Structure 1
């Protein structure tokens, strides 16, 4: 079985360059930060390393960034996309995505640190 390198390269280029082409027949753009996959339940993302305090924060932070980046949700943590950037019609969806991201993060914070966590108040 031969691999059609040209077809693979053309598909990859189209996906990377023009995310508007990633919409399915219903108009859903899977590359947008506001897209929530059905498997994005609050406990579905765990890095397996609880944050216990400053002693492991740097390593925990780096480990947490990878899954957030792959799910296109890092923007909710680094605030690179503010709530009003999508318009009033999408504010409820932004709130929902933000809550899911918070739940993913809080899942890996030990219970004794919940009260000290300042990110959750945002």
Structure 2
């Protein structure tokens, strides 16, 4: 007894009723294969996780002056580094051109998150002097 097998190597048609036809992820991928951008990639510094918000508690003691700057600075750098936002402090991530609105808006949001983390963890006297900084690196 012999069985003949035929294989169809042609790609599925747009009207296919296979598994991929009803899978929204497949439809998105088929329509736009490069739909994942830097701001969608958790390993990218422009990615802003929903848990990264201005009220995050990063350190237990605020900066009060020169007396605790070294320990405060180290304590702030660690969580900012873990959150992949260090480039906004050391200027390795520069402000993009406003003509690239997607990247510019992502930079602006992330920069403001880092600024808010800094402002929230310095004394009131210090926060007054850094409140109007344009970038996290400037502060």
Is TM-score (shorter-chain normalized) higher than 0.5? yes
The ranges of structure 1 where at least 4 consecutive aligned residues each deviate by more than 2 angstroms after the TM superposition are 115-122
Instruction: Give the aligned CA root-mean-square deviation in angstroms.
Output: 2.4
SS where residue 55 of structure 1 aligns? helix
Q: Which runs of 5+ in 2 are unaligned?
A: 1-34
1:44 is the counterpart of 2:59: no
In 2, distance between residues paired with 1:68 and 1:79?
A: 14
Q: Give the structure with the larger helix fraction.
A: 1
CA distance in 2, matches of 1:119, 1:73: 20
Does 1 or 2 have the higher relative contact order (CA < 8 Å, sep 6+)? 1
- TM-score norm. by structure 1 comes to 0.71
Match of 2:106 among 84, 93, 97: 93
- Tell which structure's C-alpha radius of gyration is larger: 2
> For residues 35 and 77 of structure 1, do their structure 2 counterparts lie closer, same or farther at Cα, with a shift above 3 Å needed?
same
CA spacing shift, 1:67–1:119, aligned 2, 3 Å: farther
